[in-house]
């Protein structure tokens, strides 16, 4: 069976004996004891009512997004043609009309964006800015006094907490803004899908994702993932599926201080600047993942290649096979963690890297470069 990752843009005897004893005990109970009492049902109804109220509270923070390609055909006698391209979801992050979504929801050839509120009102939206690396974008509509989502934070998210997804699966809310609400749990934290989703690992990053069992289907991309406090903890971005639809494994970009900084930058129309070393890194070999140096245990990430010969790492004296174990005193867990730590350190800032070279601990102070500039994606400013 082929499994694919899609953007949501669319002591054996003793054990057996114990098990038999347990089953026998259950079957020996009176049947009436298996039915819940009226008090248990009342508890369930109270819980159900709480979720119903929560859904009513969260839906106005979420929008449906419809994208179009508007162009003039070769026959100049015809007017502009508006062709639908895709649909997705978004979440209101500012009451004055700012909406966060995924960049891939707005990708070419789309050049016209329509936002549908929970009320059914439709607005043409302006793209303030989109960021390829984070797959985030911010739209602006001419509206005021909207209901903005309340910020949550990844540091407070735990596995098996309830999650609520709100979105526009299959474009069902395109017409009237009647969005779908689903309930699930956090099934895992820290998922990395960069290898599966990124067309170019230098340009795109899908790491540290929240995995959730909340129903997520094509069209949920860009929509919110909430906790039971009604706080925004993630922005839905992908599903893992063998059928093309929800199979219980959806993924969301986590909300933390770095994500909020990216969104605030995009709101202003400015591009995001990511720190960059100019290296290719990988995880250390399993046999060497625990390295004891100076009485301390280190993990780290190994430099596989110096990608830019005149880049920050090269100028700082780093070499292939060096193992970076700390960034500004923060222990490095693995290659994905190193990518996070470097990317979210402002470009141009001096950073102290601690690394191992043939088992000897060393330090280097390196001024991080601007990823997009060093890769030639933007002109000098």
Which helix (H) or strand (E) segment holds residue 327: the answer is: strand 323-327
Residue whose C-alpha is closest to residue 235's, from 102, 39, 54, 49 = 102
170 CB contacts (<8 Å, ≥6 apart)? 10, 87, 217, 218, 219
Cα 149 from Cα 168, distance rounded (Å): 17
Strands 180-191 and 209-212: antiparallel
Q: Considering 118, 135, 307, 370, which one is annotated as catalytic?
A: 135
Q: CA torsion 197→202→207→212, rounded to 10°?
A: -20
Question: Is it true that the peptide bond before 109 is cis, omega within 30 degrees of 0?
Answer: yes
Q: Considering 10, 192, 212, 221, which one is annotated as catalytic?
A: 221
What is the distance, to the nearest Å, from the Cα of residue 84 to the centroid of all Cα atoms in its chain? 26
Residue 176, classed as helix, strand or coil, is coil
DSSP for residue 336: H
Q: Considering 7, 87, 104, 337, which one is annotated as catalytic?
A: 104
Instruction: Mark whether 135 is an active-site residue.
Output: yes
Give phi and psi for 128, each to the nearest 5. Answer: -75, -50
DSSP for residue 123: E
Strands 122-131 and 136-140: antiparallel
Give phi and psi for 122, each to the nearest 5. Answer: -115, 140
Residue whose C-alpha is closest to residue 347's, from 366, 324, 328, 327 = 366
- Contact (Cβ atoms closer than 8 angstroms) between residue 301 and residue 282: yes
CA 85 → CA 68, 70, 109, 113, distances in Å? Answer: 5, 10, 7, 10
> What tokens appear for 352 in the block?
């102290």
Q: Which residues are catalytic?
A: 104, 135, 221
């Amino acid at each position: 069976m082929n499994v694919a990752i899609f953007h949501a843009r669319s002591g054996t005897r003793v054990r057996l004996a114990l098990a038999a004893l347990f089953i026998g005990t259950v079957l020996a109970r009176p049947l009436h004891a298996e039915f819940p009492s009226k008090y248990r049902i009342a508890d369930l109804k109270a819980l159900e009512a709480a979720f119903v109220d929560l859904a009513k509270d969260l839906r106005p923070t979420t929008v449906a997004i419809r994208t179009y390609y508007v162009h003039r055909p070769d026959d100049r006698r015809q007017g502009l043609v508006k062709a639908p391209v895709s649909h997705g979801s978004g979440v209101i992050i500012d009451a004055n009309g700012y909406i966060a979504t995924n960049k891939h929801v707005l990708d070419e050839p789309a050049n016209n964006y329509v936002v549908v509120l929970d009320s059914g009102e439709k607005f043409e939206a302006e793209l303030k800015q989109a960021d390829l690396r984070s797959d985030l974008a911010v739209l602006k509509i001419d509206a005021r006094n909207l209901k903005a989502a309340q910020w949550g934070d990844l540091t407070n998210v735990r596995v098996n907490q309830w999650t609520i997804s709100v979105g526009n699966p299959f474009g069902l809310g395109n017409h009237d803004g009647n969005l779908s609400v689903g309930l699930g749990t956090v099934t895992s934290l820290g998922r990395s899908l960069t290898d599966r989703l990124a067309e170019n690992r230098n340009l795109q990053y899908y790491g540290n994702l929240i995995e959730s069992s909340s129903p997520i289907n094509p069209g949920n991309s860009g929509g919110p993932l909430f906790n039971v406090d009604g706080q925004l903890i993630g922005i839905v971005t992908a599903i893992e599926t063998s059928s093309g639809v929800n199979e219980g494994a959806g993924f969301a970009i986590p909300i933390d201080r770095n994500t909020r900084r990216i969104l605030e930058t995009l709101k202003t129309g400015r591009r995001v600047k990511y720190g960059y070393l100019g290296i290719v890194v990988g995880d250390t070999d399993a046999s060497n993942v625990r390295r004891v140096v100076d009485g301390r245990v280190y993990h780290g990430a190994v430099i596989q290649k110096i990608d830019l010969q005149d880049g920050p790492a090269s100028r700082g004296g780093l070499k292939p096979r060096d193992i970076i174990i700390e960034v500004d005193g923060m222990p490095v867990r693995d290659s994905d963690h190193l990518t996070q730590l470097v990317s979210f350190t402002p470009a141009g800032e001096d950073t102290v890297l601690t690394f191992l070279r043939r088992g000897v601990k060393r330090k280097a102070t390196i001024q991080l470069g601007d990823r997009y500039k060093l890769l030639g994606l933007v002109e000098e400013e």
